[in-house]
Amino acid sequence: MHNVDVAIVGGGPIGIELNAALSKAGKSVAHLEAGRVGHTFAWWAPGTKFFSSPERIAVCGVPLSTPDQGKVTGEAYQAYLVDVVKQFSLDVRTFTRVEKIERTDAGFVLRYRRSAEGVGGPSDPGAGFGEGHEVKASHVVLAIGNMHRGRLVGCEGEDLPHVSHYLEDVTRYFGRRVVIVGGKNSAAEAAIRLYRAGAHVMICYRGERFDSDRIKYWVLPELEWLIEKGRIGFMPGTNVVRVAAEDVELDSGERVAADDVLMLTGYLQNRTLFDQLGVELTGEVERPVLDRTTMESSVPGVYIAGTACGGSQNRAKVFIENSHVHVDRICNSIAGQGVPWELDDVLEGLGKAHEEQ
């Protein structure tokens, strides 16, 4: 077993910023990621774009640009993160799944094994494999994100093979009847993309109308126009009570033909590591209780960063863009100095704003 000052769990953008900042401050770091760098973006459907503009999700002071000066796609952002890791010569142990963290009198012991895929997404194996290894750390930072598994509707047939909580490459759905359950941004964006890919789309949404605060401002007008023109079906005020092989049954008694069913109803956080450490959680979304000046949790020496701070968000308030300030706070707390790149005052303000809500 080897010893480090800090163990970071999670290889997304905030985890990468933490590694760069703490390493620059002279701290020894073990950075463990169950999948590839930026695993979450790997299971996004190809071509999915961020809501945030590029400058707001850039990390470590490294500019992020796109050919058309527009929003960046998930796959382009993942490639950017890999380039940042290379530029800063960061040691990120990918496909390394932390399965247990234990507190000791001297700090923490993290037990890990090899992993075939990251935590969260449609291919999450749920466990590692092979020989176990250990690393001892004085501090632990959990930058694990919060989009790990689909939020279940709880209807009969939700486990059938043609039902998914994840949109795949849209070309897969060409010519197929697709029922989308949900009415927030992921459902709205999927409906438009699937229509353009040649699918026959029906949206079933429990709300009577779409909430303009929950859908990207450039997506909603187009969706409403397509619905108005009858190009996308819309059944508001309905809940799916049963999924069968050929259709879905609604609480209205109506049945809608379906070759594929997409339950785009949000995501839940995997709280296994929180529970192992005894991190105090609060509220309906079970977000970790934190000292917001340092991002330290209720467990001394354990810090939470990035969207992991939000728990299983019903209404997303914690994003990449308002999480950069977490890195500065943690680095100050552990290393006694802030990040070595210039902080954007606007983004720092966004970070404080979400904490006041």
Domains 2-148+267-355 and 152-263 share a fold: yes
Question: What fold is seen in the domain 2-148+267-355?
Answer: FAD/NAD(P)-binding domain (3.50.50)
Q: pLDDT of 255-296, one tens digit each?
A: 999 999 999 999 999 999 999 999 999 999 999 999 999 999
Question: What fold is seen in the domain 152-263?
Answer: FAD/NAD(P)-binding domain (3.50.50)
Rounded to the nearest 10 degrees, the angle between the axes of helix 74-87 and helix 13-24 is: 10
pLDDT of residue 356: 46
Question: Do 222 and 210 touch, CB atoms closer than 8 A?
Answer: no
Question: Measured between alpha carbons, how far is 217 from 303 in angstroms, rounded to an integer?
Answer: 34
pLDDT of residue 347: 64
Residue 221 class from Cβ within 10 Å (0-12 exposed, 13-18 middle, 19+ buried)? exposed
Which of 147, 266, 256, 150 lies closest to 203 in space, CA to CA? 256
Where do the structural domains in the chain lie, given as residue ranges? 2-148+267-355, 152-263
The three-state DSSP-derived secondary structure of the chain is CEEEEEEEECCCHHHHHHHHHHHHCCCCEEEECCCCCCHHHHCCCCCCECCCCHHHHCCCCCCCCCCCCCCCEHHHHHHHHHHHHHHCCCCEECCEEEEEEEEECCEEEEEEEECCCCCCCCCCCCCCEEEEEEEEEEEEEECCCCCCEECCCCCECCCCCCEECCCCCHHHHCCCEEEEECCCHHHHHHHHHHHHCCCEEEEEECCCCCCCCCCCCCCHHHHHHHHHCCCCEEEECCCEEEECCCEEEECCCCEEECCEEEECCCEECCCHHHHHHCCCEECCCCEECEECCCCEECCCCEEECHHHHHCCCCCCCCCCCCCHHHHHHHHHHHHCCCCCCCCCHHHHHHHHHHHCC
pLDDT of residue 346: 60
Full pLDDT tens readout for the chain, 357 residues: 589 999 999 999 999 999 999 999 999 999 999 999 999 999 999 999 998 899 999 999 999 999 988 999 999 999 999 999 999 999 999 999 999 999 999 999 999 999 999 999 999 999 999 999 999 999 999 999 999 999 999 999 999 999 999 999 999 999 999 999 999 999 999 999 999 999 999 999 999 999 988 888 889 999 999 999 999 999 999 999 999 999 999 999 999 999 999 999 999 999 999 999 999 999 999 999 999 999 999 999 999 999 999 999 877 788 899 999 999 999 999 999 999 998 877 666 665 645 644
pLDDT of residue 314: 76
Which of 254, 225, 222, 230 lies closest to 240 in space, CA to CA? 254
Question: Do 251 and 153 touch, CB atoms closer than 8 A?
Answer: no
Whole-structure pTM value: 0.93
